[in-house]
Amino acid sequence: MNPTHIEHIGIAVTSLEESIPFFEQLLGTKCYNIEEVVDQKVKTAFFKIGQTKIELLEPTSPESTIASFIEKNNGKGGMHHIAFAVENIEGQLAEAEAAGIRLIDKAPRGGAEGLSIAFLHPKSTCGVLTELCEDKNK
Ligand code: ZN
């Protein structure tokens, strides 16, 4: 794989309402987008630092993977995943699979901000949940 940059870092939070003002102060920038991703049962909030974003994720349902992450983390949020920007996400997934990396998503699906996204299994990526993203609209 050859990612072009870190697209975003995903951070699980228990409440966007409480976390957004904190991150606005910490990063010195305003949240520029709040979006619900129904498919993933999360509400997301984005901040931009250079070409990298911070993505806050709040679960919208107890069945959300973010809800189970928070539960395993003693009811607290925390760093959840790292996302790399790639070109030709389908090819990158095939390459990852050929290299023996377990895929969570065999094919890309729609994520926040109109990106095509796919996750790699943390068991294959040194314990770090890894997301690949491609902006097919650019
Ligand atoms: Zn993400």
Confidence grade of residue 2 (pLDDT, cut at 50, 70, 90): confident
Say how many Å lie between the CA of residue 125 and the centre of ligand 1.
Answer: 16
What is the pLDDT, as a whole number, of residue 1? 80
The CA distance from 87 to 70, in Å, is 31
**What single letter denotes the amino acid at residue 26?**
L
Q: Phi-psi category of 88—alpha, beta or left, where left has phi over 0 and alpha has psi -120 to 50?
A: left
> What pTM value is reported for the model?
0.94
**Over the stretch 94-125, which tens digit does the pLDDT of each residue have?**
999 999 999 999 999 999 889 999 999 999 99
Say how many Å lie between the CA of residue 131 and the centre of ligand 1.
Answer: 6
The CA distance from 20 to 70, in Å, is 17
What is the pLDDT, as a whole number, of residue 21? 98
The CA distance from 107 to 118, in Å, is 7
Tokens of 40: 């993933």
Say how many Å lie between the CA of residue 70 and the centre of ligand 1.
Answer: 16
Domains of the chain: 5-134 (3.10.180.10)
What is the pLDDT, as a whole number, of residue 93? 97
Say how many Å lie between the CA of residue 98 and the centre of ligand 1.
Answer: 23
Say how many Å lie between the CA of residue 117 and the centre of ligand 1.
Answer: 8
Say how many Å lie between the CA of residue 118 and the centre of ligand 1.
Answer: 9
